[in-house]
């Protein structure tokens, strides 16, 4: 038994420092890539613009992926070997689990923030302009409940098979992996529709997509280099997902640049429409301007106060559907 255990753990006895550093970089990159999305929702205090079905498919996909990596025979063997190898060797063998685990945790945080900051009242959106296909708070609540229930069911099934049917665990893990890949591809379809319908990125983080889009192709490249054409089922998912996320990124950038251009044009129009004496030029009749004197007898010019009263109408914190075409 000892010899068998020693042979099982031999692959961890001499880990590659290069692979270890690369795996740590990927782990850090996964965490950093999701932080802009968390910050975006919290800073806007709204998850408007994020499709609930994008969140649902992403969360369930991450749950399946995390369960897959935990149930794989190699991962379970690495867990057992941690009692026989050094801490460095153990961490090197479990970095893959940590990567998928961090991804699952980060997307779970998005799910939580999505529900907490989902618009709930008429003051958050303009119902008359909201397309009927967009979701309500009830939909967001059902998505959250389904995601939590899905996680519990996956956990119960995994533990049950490990205890009573260990012979089918590997097949179950492979099935979960295929489902995870399929869901990760499908998750971008509802978000593409939502972003196109709103004509704005909303609470969807563009920096997150800027990091994750090339990261998907980089991850696919490492898998192609490792497994070649025969391992197409492992890397094709990342290529398709990266392509769809890239399309979403281009769409979001296009709409955001359009909004910025409209905002600048509106500000320039306001500036040009101010009376000449307010802009500091010419003399003549003052329109909407009151002259007072300060304590030292000097003149103080005060406007009617509404020159910029709607200056924040296009601000990032305003509801997407409130006044935007």
Q: Report pLDDT digits (tens) over 190-227.
A: 999 999 988 888 888 999 999 989 988 887 777 676 55
CB 239 within 8 A of CB 220: yes
* pLDDT at residue 314 greater than cutoff 50: no
pTM: 0.74
Residue 291 DSSP class: E
Residue 302 DSSP class: E
Q: What is the pLDDT of residue 228?
A: 66
Q: Report pLDDT digits (tens) over 284-296.
A: 444 444 545 554 4
Nearest-angstrom CA–CA distance, 288 and 298:
20
Tell me the helix, strand and coil percentages in the chain, rounded to 5: 70, 0, 30
Q: Report pLDDT digits (tens) over 217-266.
A: 887 777 676 556 765 666 777 888 889 999 999 999 999 898 888 888 88
Least confident of 2-6, 109-113, 289-293: 2-6
In DSSP notation, 23-42 reads HHHHHHHHHHHHHHHHHHHH
Mean pLDDT over 120-125 rounds to 58
Nearest-angstrom CA–CA distance, 244 and 15:
35
Q: What is the pLDDT of residue 208?
A: 93
Per the rule left: phi > 0, alpha: psi between -120 and 50, beta: everything else, 4 is alpha
Residue 292 DSSP class: E
Structural element, H or E, at residue 300: strand 299-302
227 vs 22, 158, 252, CA distance in Å? Answer: 17, 27, 34
Structural element, H or E, at residue 115: helix 87-116
Nearest-angstrom CA–CA distance, 127 and 121:
9
């Amino acid at each position: 038994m000892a010899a068998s255990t020693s042979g099982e753990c031999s692959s961890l006895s001499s880990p590659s420092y290069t692979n270890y550093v690369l795996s740590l970089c990927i782990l850090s990159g996964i965490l950093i890539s999701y932080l802009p999305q968390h910050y975006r929702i919290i800073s806007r205090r709204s998850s408007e613009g994020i499709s609930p079905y994008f969140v649902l498919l992403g969360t369930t996909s991450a749950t399946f992926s995390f369960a897959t990596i935990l149930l794989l025979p190699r991962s379970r063997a690495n867990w057992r070997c941690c009692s026989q190898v050094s801490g460095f060797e153990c961490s090197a063998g479990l970095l893959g689990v940590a990567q998928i685990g961090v991804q699952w945790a980060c997307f779970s945080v998005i799910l939580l923030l999505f529900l907490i900051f989902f618009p709930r009242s008429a003051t958050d959106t303009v119902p008359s302009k909201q397309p009927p296909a967009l979701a309500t708070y009830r939909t967001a609540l059902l998505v959250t409940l389904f995601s939590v229930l899905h996680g519990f069911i996956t956990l119960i099934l995994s533990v049950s098979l490990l205890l009573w049917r260990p012979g089918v665990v590997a097949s179950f893990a492979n099935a979960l992996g295929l489902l995870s890949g399929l869901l990760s591809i499908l998750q971008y379809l509802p978000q593409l529709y939502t972003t196109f319908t709103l004509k704005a990125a909303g609470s969807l983080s563009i920096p997150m997509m800027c990091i994750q889009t090339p990261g998907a192709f980089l991850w696919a490249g490492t898998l192609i280099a490792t497994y070649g054409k025969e391992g197409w089922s492992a890397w094709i998912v990342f290529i398709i997902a990266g392509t769809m996320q890239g399309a979403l990124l281009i769409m979001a950038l296009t709409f955001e640049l359009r909004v910025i251009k409209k905002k600048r044009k509106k500000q320039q129009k306001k500036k040009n429409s101010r009376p000449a004496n307010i802009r500091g030029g010419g003399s003549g009749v003052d329109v909407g301007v009151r002259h007072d004197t300060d304590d030292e007898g000097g003149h103080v010019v005060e406007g009617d106060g509404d020159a910029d009263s709607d200056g924040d109408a296009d601000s990032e914190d305003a509801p997407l559907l409130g006044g935007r075409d």
